[in-house]
Amino acid sequence: MNYTLSYIISTKNRLPFLKILLENLLPQLNANEEIIVVDGNSTDGSKEYLNDLFLNNKIHQFISEPDKNQAHGWNKAFLMAKGTIIKKLIDDDVHDIDAIRQCKNFMLTNPEIDACISNCMEADITNSAIIGTTTRLPWFNEWKSGKTASFTFSDVSLLIRRSSLSFLGIFDTQFKMIDWEYSLRISYLQAKIAYYTGYNSISVATPGNVTSTATKKLFKLEGDIGKLKYNYKGDEADISFYSRVKIWIGKSYYGLRNAKQIEKTISPMPDEEVLRKIYSVYYQKIAELNRISKLEFIY
């Protein structure tokens, strides 16, 4: 089977989020698209849930085994992908499949494009009423005009041409902030990147995400490496605000959840029924925003 698009997912012990993601994706799946899931040996029922989907031909490729780190799990999925275009789906984020297909179709029509990114929405599961938007377009334009050697963006919106991986590479297993390093790397390599002015994803900050284990010392170390290696001058978003929110939530929820000060500033993790209602709103919001936005590709 020749797939035009591979959706890749790397997950561990995130069953409620994983269910919501796949229940949204599966009914929309086209015959020329595949789903690949790499599970990091989950113990919360994710492994059994995914294996059942695999045995019933709902997902195309599935493995469950321990990972060395975040990049290791995602890299397995990259190497398993068979599609012309690869889209990383993060289990606790929201992804607009129609917008993703717009990006995929543009890349198929323009085979010189290595990667495509888009505007993004941002949300915080502990304060679900607030949904914001963010853009990297000004920094993309500066990079495109040659004013900067590299720029940063989140991989939540990123699509990659599989044949370009031999040039761009996969995630660096030495980095915690893997999308930060990858964005600097491929822009420094002068990859042909297209920018979609629509929104193909919502970054949702949730307790227990991988970034919540990062420390200030690690941020500084990785930041210094990125600036030196990729001639990155900084743009007041060395580590995005969204990433900082993710880290704060994770540390607050797991490291200080019994402290009275945290009880006043962070609400408990919603149960699955509440999560479904919150995510239903998120899916509606991103679809609505794409309907009223000016949608174009810049490259």
pLDDT digits (tens, 9 = 90+) for 194-203: 999 999 999 9
Measured CA to CA, the distance from residue 273 to residue 100 in angstroms comes to 27
Residues whose CB is less than 8 angstroms from the CB of residue 16 and which lie 6 or more positions away in sequence, other chains included? 272, 275
How does pLDDT run across 274-298, given as a tens digit for each residue?
999 999 999 999 999 999 998 999 9
Higher pLDDT, 248 or 178: 178
Q: In the structure, what pLDDT confidence band is assigned to residue 245 with cuts at 50, 70 and 90?
A: very low
Q: In the structure, what pLDDT confidence band is assigned to residue 173 with cuts at 50, 70 and 90?
A: very high
Closest CA to 135 of 206, 177, 198, 87: 198
Q: What's the CATH fold of domain 92-298?
A: Spore Coat Polysaccharide Biosynthesis Protein SpsA; Chain A (3.90.550)
> In the structure encoding, which two tokens stand for residue 60, read together?
């195309």
Measured CA to CA, the distance from residue 36 to residue 52 in angstroms comes to 14
Measured CA to CA, the distance from residue 3 to residue 91 in angstroms comes to 22
What integer pLDDT is reported at residue 132 of this predicted model? 94
How does pLDDT run across 107-156, given as a tens digit for each residue?
999 999 999 999 999 999 888 888 999 999 999 999 999 999 999 999 99
What integer pLDDT is reported at residue 74 of this predicted model? 98
Helix, strand or coil, per DSSP, at residue 264 = helix
Indicate whether 239 pLDDT > 60: no
Q: Locate the domains of the chain by residue range.
A: 92-298
How does pLDDT run across 82-107, given as a tens digit for each residue?
999 999 999 999 999 999 999 999 99
Using CA atoms, how far residue 101 sits from 28, 33, 107, 290, in Å, is 11, 10, 10, 13
CB 16 within 8 A of CB 22: no
Nearest 5°: the CA angle 112, 114, 118 is: 115
What integer pLDDT is reported at residue 236 of this predicted model? 57
How high does pLDDT run on average in the chain?
Answer: 89
37-57 burial, b for 16+ CB within 10 Å, e for fewer? bbbbebeeebbebbeebbeee
CB 299 within 8 A of CB 197: no
CB 42 within 8 A of CB 16: no
Residues whose CB is less than 8 angstroms from the CB of residue 20 and which lie 6 or more positions away in sequence, other chains included? 275, 276, 279
What integer pLDDT is reported at residue 128 of this predicted model? 83
Q: Among residues of the chain, what percentage have pLDDT more than 90?
A: 75
How does pLDDT run across 214-236, given as a tens digit for each residue?
678 888 888 888 889 999 987 75
